[in-house]
Amino acid sequence: MKTENQHFFQKVYQVVRQIPYGRVTSYGAIAKYLGAARSARMVGWAMNNAHSMPDIPAHRVVNRVGLLTGKHHFSGTNLMQQLLENEGIIVEEDQIIAFEKYFWDPAKALDQHRE
DNA sequence: TCAGTGACTGACC
DNA sequence: GGGTCAGCCACTG
């Protein structure tokens, strides 16, 4: 039984869905929120599997420097960038400009216990 | 079964 | 300050 793994993936999808419009986050941030900061690759794998899931704004998930490492996995090579720009995010050479400005931390946004 | 790969990250040199 | 290495875990051949 690997239901726990499924749960991990589901959690990833749930967090990604919570990303507000015009915001982005990183694989590590999600992984850290899920208590698996060292398993950021699993988040990336979850995104790969996210194609099977509806309403997963995977384009809002980039690596820690705001680089669109996963754009190649989208239908078009520019689709990911187009989607981000459509939300008001500036993307240049596959990298988000002022990434930290748009960065959305699930650990802070979803955890209402701390401020 | 074993080994290689990957939408990552942090540490080290 | 930039390049390299190792760790992480699941999937594929």
Fold of domain A3-109:
Arc Repressor Mutant, subunit A (1.10.10)
Which sequence spans correspond to the domains of chain A? 3-109
Q: From the CA of A55, how many Å to the C1' of B6?
A: 23
Could you tell me where the DSSP H helices lie in A50-94?
Answer: 79-86
Model confidence band, residue A37 (pLDDT cutoffs 50, 70, 90):
confident
User: Does residue A2 carry a pLDDT above 70?
Assistant: no
Q: Is the Cβ atom of A63 within 7 Å of strand B at any atom?
A: yes
Tokens (6 digits) for A36: 């698996």
pLDDT tens string A39-92: 899 999 999 999 888 899 999 999 999 999 999 888 888 899 999 999 999 999
Q: From the CA of A1, how many Å to the C1' of B1?
A: 20
User: Does residue A36 carry a pLDDT above 60?
Assistant: yes
Q: From the CA of A45, how many Å to the C1' of B2?
A: 22
Q: Is the Cβ atom of A2 within 7 Å of strand C at any atom?
A: yes
Global pTM value = 0.89
Q: Would you tell me how many other CB atoms lie within 10 Å of the CB of residue A13? A: 20
